[in-house]
Every structure is written in structure tokens, then in C-alpha cells.
Structure 1
Amino acid sequence: MDTKYYTIGMAGHIDHGKTTLTKALTNVDTDRLKEEKERNISIELGYAPLHMKDNMHVSVVDVPGHERFIRQMIAGVAGIDLVLLVIAADEGTMPQTKEHIEILEFLGIKRCIVVITKIDTVDEEFLEIVTLDIQEQLASTVFHDASVVYADSISKKGIDELKEKIFYELNEIETRDSYGSFRLPIDQVFTVQGQGTVVRGTIYEGLVRKGSPLIVLPQQKKVKARQIQVHHQETDEARAGQRTAINLGGITKEEVQRGDVLVSSDHFLVTKVIDVSLKFVDEMNSPIKQRSLVKIHVGTSEVMGTIVFFDRNEVKQTSDEVLCQLRLHEEVVVRRGDRFILRRPTPVETVGGGWVIDPKGEKYRFGVETIEALMKKKEGTPEDRLKDVLFEYKLLDMQQIMQYTSLNEHELHDVLKKEVENNNIIEMTNDRFILSHQLITLQDELVNAVKDYHEQYPMRIGINKAELVQSYRDFYPKLYVEFAVEKLVEKSKLKKSEQYIALQSFASHFPKKWEKRMNQIIDHLKSDGIAVKRWEEYVKASQIPEKEIVDLQTFLLQSGEAYKLDEHLLVHKLSFEKALSHLKQETEQSFDLKTAKEILELPRKYLIPFLELLDELKLTSRLENERKWVKLKQ
């Protein structure tokens, strides 16, 4: 059964017990800053692992409740799958509670558990009144049917019931996409002494592996994932839905900040103009006018911009969806479907939120034609829908595409023909289609993977093709990866030797660190002729790591620099060829064991393995007590 990864978030008014509840669930105190301890409030995002049963890994995000720290709150909840709306029994819903609910709705979070905390501080009658008030507040929201759990974090009442409810809710949620290109909006940046720059965030999609080449956007800075941690535990990989810290090589702390995005592909858009579908809050202090200055929170970024309407000059109060445009003062990284929050800088308030229709908007005329075009774009053109499903599923046949896009056969045929002609889509084989830019991304990753393998194992002739294909099983179908490898071989970017894959320019070689000692081992082996010592004796004093010793032996055998007499004896190629030449010169068409012993003057310990090696190499053939040269002496 596949492991599932989720992130859940705490939301609610300040001092309603979010951090204490997090500690009761996880045994982790997420208030780690000195100022947080002194003021008894959360300022930065806090994270803790929640140990669940079965195949479920869960991270808890404790977000600040104070109004002044709303930016951190939005950054924290933007990547969550389930929210725990925390409301204190002795206070009930508060203004901050209402704003958090609006933010959660705008971000498209649909799963919620209401946790009424501090129940030991009130009597049953008061608790009933608070519960009715909460239900009334949620009645007109997407959380109207949210489960309610009563808990007290100090006495641990209701905590086990809450864990069961969390488990139930998460089981109903579809996991995030681990197969797409990796994307992690950064919400924290710090340094660790001796390690360098570390970034932290929730992985929105895809999977990252230790050693992977990555890009920090929007500054297009190339970096490498030197180390990956999930809740302080080092791991080789992390995937969508996990809270992750990544130690980056190639960048300083000053070159990266909260709001930047870490990706594995150069196909993510960096933009300053986005077309959006926007909804507004029920109550605003004043109207939002045409080209008003607004603050946009998307992912973990917070940027200023102006709002541009195409069918009105202001919004006073409306429950309608408004199609409009946001023109940003700074670049952001977004994709179609990403959610955002809109806030007014003065007076500070949340005014709305929505989702990105097109991350690369253009300048349009005011009027109904633009609204109709945005509506069509919102609903998605056949081309958009085709590319969206291929991006998600990687490799699809005609029947699958029709199912996923709801396009009929005629529409799909026309769209595919156009996209294939424009080289946006490739017909791979048997009516199966892939995106051209995804193939390029995969090929880049494959070349980098082979390059990394060469750096790690310079003495090996290459990586086993099956191993390379298998390593991408979580990203792409096997047929897709094999196709990508074959195309790279055709383009002479990779080469294939039997089952091994290598870079076209690669040649096996000794690692620089051990080159001198390895050559010394080979010299000693060569000087001992056929009567060699056990292999272990040549290498025991070299202090070369065991892994490198194993690779050295394999390198000598695969390159033909040495031959194996038995499990413990290796003989150098020159020594073998010298003995072979001497034996051939001194014998006729056939010879026996006694003759060979007299010529080579070798004890049986070496003679028998040597002669058996001749048989194995098909230089001789044995018949009873005699051996016959397969090829006559020249």
C-alpha cells in the first residue's frame, strides 16, 4: 500500500489554544522563538509531525492567530489539506476567527474539523451556547457540515477522539500529485552552521531527491539539494504533501527569501500579470475601486499590485464571481488553478480571494468582449484541457484523453493534429501522446541522473538501464522513460553498452582521491606475475573504502585489465598474456597438465585455475587429461 502524505493546519483567533493543542497532539512545542515564549503568542509558523496509523504521514502547521501576523498565517495554510479550526470554549468565535474562515474558503480548503478547546473552563450550558453560535457562523460557509470535537489540551480530554477524526477526514482526501514537476513555495529561510542555506516549505507537487539539481525562482538561480529533512529526520527524498527542509548548495541566505519557489523544471512561469477569478468578502470597510492598490498573497509570496476590472469601476458589495486582472509590482511563480488571497493595505483587511485563470495575462480592452474571452479562458480551451491532462497523467492514449477532457473524437483529432504539427505534443507510439516540454524535462533529468551516477561511481561503465528506468517509476510510466532514453541515445547524448547507459563522452576512470593508491595496487599485482597473493592482501593496507575496492575489482575485470583465477586471486592482463604466450610457444596442438607444469613452473594452486581460465576464455578445449588449442599457434 502506497504511503500517503498530508499537511494539516491550525487556524483561529489568538490565544484560543492552537499551539497547546498542537503540543497535545504531537508532543512538540511549536513556539520556538524567545519572543514567542515571552509574549505567549505564535509569531512564526510552527511545525510538528503527527504520528498516525497505517500508511499515513502527517505534518501539523501551527499558524499565528494575531492579526499582525496574518501574512505568516496565509503562507502556512496555503499548502494544507485539512484545517483544524480552533475556537476557545470560554470566548467562542471572534473577529479573527471569521477572517481565518474567509481566507480558508478563498484558498479552496474544503475539509475542516472544528475543535472547541478549553472545555474544562466552562460548564455544559455555556458550551452548548458556544456550539450553537459556531454552527450559526459556519452555516453559510463551505464548512457548514464540519465535524465538531470538544477537547482540553491540558487534561487531554478529546485528544484521542480528535486523532480518530483527523484520520477519517484525511482518508477521504485525494493525495497531492507526486508525479508532476517538483514545486515548493518557500516560507522559511535560515542557515545552519557548517551546512549553509536551508529553506523550508510544504511541497505542493512532485518529488525531490537528495542531490537533485533545482532552480530558485523567480531569480532563476540554479542550486542543488545537498540534504533533505522531514521533521528533523534526514531522508533521501520528499514528496508532495510533506513539510520539508532542504539544504541548498550554490546559494547564500541573502539570495533567497520567503515567497521564492523551489522547482525542478524551467517550465514554471514567472509573471507579473495574472488573469483571475475573484470573489469578495461579505463585508468591506469601503469599495474596491478600479486600479486600487492591493496586496496579493499567493503560495508563500506577498506582493503589491493593482486590480484591473473590465466590466466595472468599483466593487462595493457582491457575491458574484468577478473576472479581472492583477498587475503585480514584483514577479511571482504561479500556475493555472493556484489560489490566492487579496488584502487591502490601508485600512488593512482581507477583501477577497480566488484562483488563477491564466498566469501570463496580457493587456485587454475594457468591455464585454474581454469578459467573454476571460470566461472562455476560465472554462478552458480544448488545447488547455488536453495539455492539462497530459501534464497530470504524462502518457495517455486517445480513449483516456477523451475520458479526462470530455472532448469528442472529432474535436480531439483536430486539436492533436494541430499540437503535434506545432511540436507541442509528441505521438510516442501506438496512439499514445506526451507533452514535448515534459519529455525535454525528463531527458534533462535523465542526463543529470547519469552524470551524478558517473560522479559517484567513476569506475563503473555506466548505470544499468533497468535501474535508471526503475528510479523514475514514481514520476513517469516505464514506457515513457524507456522512450526518453532511446531518444537520448539516438541524439548521441547517451550511449548504450549492453545493458549499461552512460554519457556519450564518459570513460571509466579512477577517482582522483584514490588514483595514486589504486595504481600502486595494480603495480604490485603486475609485478607478482601469475603467482599472485590473495586480492585482500593487496588492498588491506591502502585504506581505500570498501565500496571503492569493490568497484576497483569490477573495473579491472570489466576493462580486461585483470583476470580472475578464483574467488580470491586476480592476475594482471600482462602477466596472463605473458604466461599464455610462453605456453603456446612451448607446446604443440595439445598438451597435458604435466607439460604445462614443467613449462610454466607453477604450483597447482595457480596452474589449475590458469588452465581452467583458458578453457573459460575458449582458448583451449579440454578432453579428459589433455587440452587442445582452439586456435593454432601462429
Structure 2
Amino acid sequence: MSDTYFTIGMAGHIDHGKTTLTKALSHIDTDRLKEEKERSISIELGYAPLRIEEGINISIVDVPGHERFIRQMIAGVAGIDLVVLVIAADEGVMPQTKEHLEILEFLGIEHCIVAISKVDRVDDEMLEFVTEDIKDGLTGTIFHKAPFVYVDGISGKGIDNLNQKIISELKLVESRDAYGSFRLPVDQVFTVQGQGTIVRGTIYEGIVQQGSQLRLLPKDHKVRARQIQVHHEDQNVARAGQRTAINLSGVDKEDVHRGDVLVASDHFLVTKTIDVALQFVEALRVPVKQRMPVKIHVGTSEVMGRIVFFDRNEVKQTDGEVLCQIQLDEEVVVRRGDRFILRRPTPVETIGGGWVIQPEGGKYRFGKATIDRLQNKKQSTPEDLIEDVLSTHTLLDVKQLIQYTSLDEHVVKRTVAEGLEEGYLFEVNRQTYGVTKTFNKVKDEIISQLENYHQDYPMRLGISKAEILQMLSGMYSKVLVEYSLDQLVKKGNLEKKDQFVSSAEFHPHLPKQWKQRMLEVIHSLKKDGLTVKKWEDYLTNTPFSKHDANEFAVYLVQTKQAFRILDDRLIHRSALDAALSKLKRQTGETFDLKEAKDTLDVSRKYLIPFLELLDQLKITTRQDNERKWMEGKS
């Protein structure tokens, strides 16, 4: 069985024993800073490995409990799989306990263990009272069924039981995606003398290898993973769920900040406008108004922005979900489904949280239509999202699909494979994809254009491919139109002759109303042999316009009933065949101009254009003053 990797968080009110409990579990003191030692409080995030059972690799994040360090707390719990909510037996539920609880719910943390700490300080009666108080506080929350353990970090009481609870809960947690594109939101940046810039964070998805070329977003610095450590141990590879430190080359410490995101692909977008599904806390101290400044915590970033409603101008109190938009002052890196916390900058308080519907929000009008649109986006399946972006962009490759849908790479590839198999997607060259209903629209448009064309130009073989591309260039890409033409030809809907395309059932023909007159012209042309008049002379006393005359000539040439020997003269096919047969019978392997003139008995005015026509048709080839039969005389 392969190893699994998890991160658990220690959360709760200040001085409830989170750091002491972490040390009791891991034997590591996570308070590293001098100020933390002097004040006996956690200021920055602390980390420690927890080794309980073979094959299960656990990192503990000890988050600050003081309200002044709520930013660090949010950054710390953003990537956890399980929270240990620490509540002191001698104090019970406190303000930061409640706020941490709200934040954990908004971030979608589903697995929790309640650790009642400092149990050696209270008697059984007090412990029972505190237990009931905590259960009441958890009623109605996602953690109402969370298991309880009673511990004391100093004496070690209950630590073994907590270890077992952690293992049993983690076995219920779905491990993080090690197959997606690598993403690590940075929560710490520092330098080590002689080593350079080091970043630390929890890997959200994917894997990173020593030597990997990476990108640091949102500023898009190109960097390399020079060295990787997991809890101070060198590793060649780190994967989703692990607390990891990466020594980066290619960037200075001053250019890296908490909230930056380290990625391995160009699938990730940076954005300043996100569409969100937002829920508010139960008791807002002050109403949230339209375009009010807010502070959003997403991943490990903390960015100011404004909230934009589309169906209201303020929220006083609501227990429902609000679909809205956050317009940010700075760029962030988010994907669909990422959780966030929303705080008011003044008065400082957590006002809500939710998840990202769409990383690149658009400009929308106020009203129900926008809410319906966001609701559809929110409820969309991967299939819906891919069909939606392909309906807008017609053709996209995998990278573009990942960017526009904000889905994981393996989800996009799996969905595309299913779509191709089920027939609602199609593939163009170089793994570019479209939705079948778009192909059907292009197909119908091509067929419609051809029907109109055949109606207007019944004597032409068809329309040139270049003309079709030009006709549809304002609606569809050249690649899509070319693909559609090829498919229609393969399926027998269209025919292609040289550069001309026509409907499969179409054949060029003389217009019914002029057919008899045109046959008379053809008969006259045929009778004149090689000594033809100008084309316009054959059409004297006919109702044909100059355009009609040109179309008629093109028809005869394209259908090979006639051949053009001069710009203004045609000869009938029968004249060509008769002259060619006579010339072959009465000449040798080569012949000159005089032999041809004597054989055909026509003036140079007609003879020279005729012989040049034979050259064009590759029947003969000219060599100085003679011509040679290309395929012999047979």
C-alpha cells in the first residue's frame, strides 16, 4: 500500500494549549521566535512532523490563537485535511474558538477532533460542564459529530488516545491529488546563509521534484527547485498533502511574499475579479453594503478588494448563500472550488466565506439574469463547464480548457476523453477540441452557403475553398471551417474537385430558361472547329449580359466542353480532339510549326494559341523550334 500524506491543524483560542499539545504529540517545540518564547504565545505558524503509523505521513500546523494573528491562522489552516480544535477545560468555548470554528467551516474543513486540554486542572464536574458547553457550541455546525478526546499536554494524559483518533479520522479523509498540476501557496519566505531563497507551504496538489523548473505567480518569476526538504529532511520528491520547504534559484527573497503561489505549469491564471458563492456569519455587527471594502484570504494570500452584489445593495442578516463578485486590488492565483475567508477591515471582523465559482469574473449587469448565470456556473459539472467555454471559444487545447474552466488537468483530460467517446466533443488536429453542436452549426452554415451559391451560379463546378473560408471568417476560425469541410467531404455530404467544393448531389448545368439558346451557341462553337470567333460574337442577339457570358464560358471550360486558346476565344472539345488526332497521325516524335500548319491548314493566328494550349495540357513540350509529344503518339 502506498504512503499517504496529510496536514492537520491545531486551532483554538489563545493559551488553550495548542503548542504544548503539538509538542506532546511530535516532541517538537513549534514556537521558534524569541518573542514567542518571551510572551508564551504563538505569533507565526509552527510546523512539526507526526509519526504514528507506518505509511501515514502527517504534518502538524500549529496556528496562532490570538485575534491579532488571525491572518496567520487563516493561512495555516487553508491547506489542512483535519483540524484538532483545542479547547481548555478550565475556560471552555472562548471568542477565538468561535471565530476559528467559523473560519474552518467556511474553508470547507470537514474532519475535526475536539481536544479538551488541561484536564488536570479541573475536576470531573467541571469537565462534564465544559463538555456539554462545547457540544452546545458545535450544534448546527459541520462538526456536531466530531469525536472528543481529553488530554493534558504537560502530563501526557490522553495523548495516545488522541493519536489513535487522528489515525482513525485521517483514514476517512480523501488524500490530496498528487496527479494534478503542482501548486504550493507560499506561507513563509526566508533565507539561509549560503543557500539563498527558501519558501515553505503545504502542497495543495501535484508533485515537485528536485531540479524542476517552476513558476512563481502572480509575478511569473521563472525559478528552479534547487533543494527540497520535508521537516528538515532532504527529499528528491514532495507531493500533495506535505509541508515542504523548497530552496529556489532564480529569485531573490525580496521578490517573494506570503500569498505567492509556486506552480509547475502554465495552466494557472492570475486574476483580479472572481465570481463567488458567499455565506455570511450568523451575527453581522454592521451591515455589508454594495462595493464595501473587504479583505479576502484565499490560499495564503490576503488582498483588499470590494464586494459587488447583483441582486441587492446590502446584507444585514442572511443564512442563505449570496452569489456575487469580489473585485480585487491585487492579482491572486485561484481555481474553481478554492475556499476563501472574507473579513471587514474596519471594524475588524470575519464576515463570511465561501468558494470560487469562476476565477475570471466578467462585467455583469445588476439583475436576475446575472444571478441566473452565476447559479448555472455554480451548478455546472465538468462536462457543462467544458461545453460552455467551447461554445464561446469554439476550439481550445487542453491547456486552454484548464485555464478557462479552472478544472484539474486530469479532470479535463478524463472529461474530454468521455466527450469524444460519447460524441458531444470532437478533436481537430494537434489535440484541439470543439463541441459537436458547434460543428453542426458550421456544417449547416457551409451547406446553406453552398445551396445559395449553386442557386446563384448553377454553371460553376462549385465554390472555391478560399471563398468559403472568407465567407465564414467573421463567424468561425479558419481551422474549424477547414476541419468541417474535410469532415463533410469524408461523410459524403460534399464533393471536392481540385479547389472547388460543391454539394454531393449538385452538378453544374445550364439554367433552364436559357438552356436552348446556350445549346445553339455550343453548336456554333463546335461547327467552327479551330477557327473560332471572339466569344462575345457568338452571344450577339442573345439575352445574356456580360456577366452571364462570362459564367457561360467558365462553365464550358470547367466542364471541359471547351478550352480557352486566347482571353477572348474558346474552342470546342471536339475541335481539340479532331486536330490532335490529325496532328498525331501525320507527324513523327517531334514536329515544328510548319509541319503543324501544313497538317491543320490554319493560319498562325489560330495555330500558335492552339499549340500553346497543347503545351499547357502537357500533351506536348516545346524544345527550341520543335515540339515533342509528351507520352508518345499513341
Q: Give TM class, smaller chain.
A: 0.5 to 0.7
Write the distance in 2 (CA, Å) between the matches of 1:237 and 1:390: 21
**Conservation of the 8 A alpha-carbon contact between 1:390 and 1:396:** no
C-alpha distance after superposition, 1:406-431 (max 9, x if no partner): x9x8xx522x12x758954499xxxx
Whether 1:350 aligns to 2:350 is: yes
Write the distance in 2 (CA, Å) between the matches of 1:291 and 1:390: 32
What is the CA RMSD across the aligned residues, in angstroms? 1.9
* Cα deviation, residue 284, structure 1: 1.0
* Cα deviation, residue 393, structure 1: 4.7
Whether 1:170 aligns to 2:191 is: no
* Cα deviation, residue 380, structure 1: 1.5
In the other structure, the counterpart of 1:239 is 239
Q: 1:392 aligns with which of 403, 406, 410?
A: 410
Could you say which structure has the larger radius of gyration? Answer: 2
Write the distance in 2 (CA, Å) between the matches of 1:422 and 1:325: 36
**Conservation of the 8 A alpha-carbon contact between 2:3 and 2:56:** yes
**Which amino acid in the other structure matches residue 53 of structure 1?**
E
Write the distance in 2 (CA, Å) between the matches of 1:290 and 1:238: 43
User: Structure 1 residues 426, 50: CA separation in 2 closer, same or farther (over 3 Å shift)?
Assistant: farther
In the other structure, the counterpart of 1:259 is 259
Give the 5 Å matches for 1:14-163: 14-163=14-163
User: Structure 1 residues 330, 397: CA separation in 2 closer, same or farther (over 3 Å shift)?
Assistant: closer
In the other structure, the counterpart of 1:335 is 335
**Which amino acid in the other structure matches residue 197 of structure 2?**
T
Whether 1:291 aligns to 2:309 is: no
In the other structure, the counterpart of 2:547 is none
**Conservation of the 8 A alpha-carbon contact between 2:310 and 2:370:** yes
In the other structure, the counterpart of 1:491 is none
User: Structure 1 residues 422, 340: CA separation in 2 closer, same or farther (over 3 Å shift)?
Assistant: farther
Which consecutive residues of structure 1, in runs of 5 or more, have no partner in the other structure? 428-634
Write the distance in 1 (CA, Å) between the matches of 2:107 and 2:178: 20
**Conservation of the 8 A alpha-carbon contact between 2:181 and 2:409:** no
**Which amino acid in the other structure matches residue 159 of structure 2?**
I
Whether 1:413 aligns to 2:423 is: yes
Write the distance in 2 (CA, Å) between the matches of 1:273 and 1:358: 9
SS of match in other structure, 1:72: helix
* Cα deviation, residue 383, structure 1: 4.2
User: Structure 1 residues 192, 426: CA separation in 2 closer, same or farther (over 3 Å shift)?
Assistant: farther
In the other structure, the counterpart of 2:225 is 225
In the other structure, the counterpart of 1:214 is 214
SS of match in other structure, 1:325: strand
User: Structure 1 residues 147, 38: CA separation in 2 closer, same or farther (over 3 Å shift)?
Assistant: same
User: Structure 1 residues 11, 397: CA separation in 2 closer, same or farther (over 3 Å shift)?
Assistant: closer
SS of match in other structure, 1:22: helix
SS of match in other structure, 2:187: strand
Write the distance in 2 (CA, Å) between the matches of 1:271 and 1:422: 28
**Which amino acid in the other structure matches residue 87 of structure 1?**
I
TM (norm. structure 1) is 0.64
C-alpha distance after superposition, 1:435-473 (max 9, x if no partner): xxxxxxxxxxxxxxxxxxxxxxxxxxxxxxxxxxxxxxx
Moved over 2 A (4+): 385-398, 419-427
Which consecutive residues of structure 2, in runs of 5 or more, have no partner in the other structure? 388-400, 436-634
**Which amino acid in the other structure matches residue 223 of structure 2?**
V
Write the distance in 2 (CA, Å) between the matches of 1:77 and 1:13: 14
Write the distance in 1 (CA, Å) between the matches of 2:430 and 2:26: 53
User: Structure 1 residues 395, 363: CA separation in 2 closer, same or farther (over 3 Å shift)?
Assistant: closer
**Which amino acid in the other structure matches residue 282 of structure 1?**
E
**Conservation of the 8 A alpha-carbon contact between 2:181 and 2:408:** no
Write the distance in 2 (CA, Å) between the matches of 1:385 and 1:358: 13
C-alpha distance after superposition, 1:130-172 (max 9, x if no partner): 0000000001100000000000111100000000000000011
In the other structure, the counterpart of 2:549 is none
Write the distance in 2 (CA, Å) between the matches of 1:219 and 1:137: 43
TM (norm. structure 2) is 0.64
C-alpha distance after superposition, 1:587-610 (max 9, x if no partner): xxxxxxxxxxxxxxxxxxxxxxxx
Give the 5 Å matches for 1:354-393: 354-380=354-380, 382-384=383-385, 391-393=409-411
Aligned residues: 417
SS of match in other structure, 1:205: coil
In the other structure, the counterpart of 1:271 is 271
* Cα deviation, residue 385, structure 1: 5.7
**Conservation of the 8 A alpha-carbon contact between 2:11 and 2:18:** yes
Identical pairs, percent: 68
**Conservation of the 8 A alpha-carbon contact between 1:214 and 1:265:** yes
Whether 1:401 aligns to 2:418 is: yes
C-alpha distance after superposition, 1:106-126 (max 9, x if no partner): 000000000000000000000
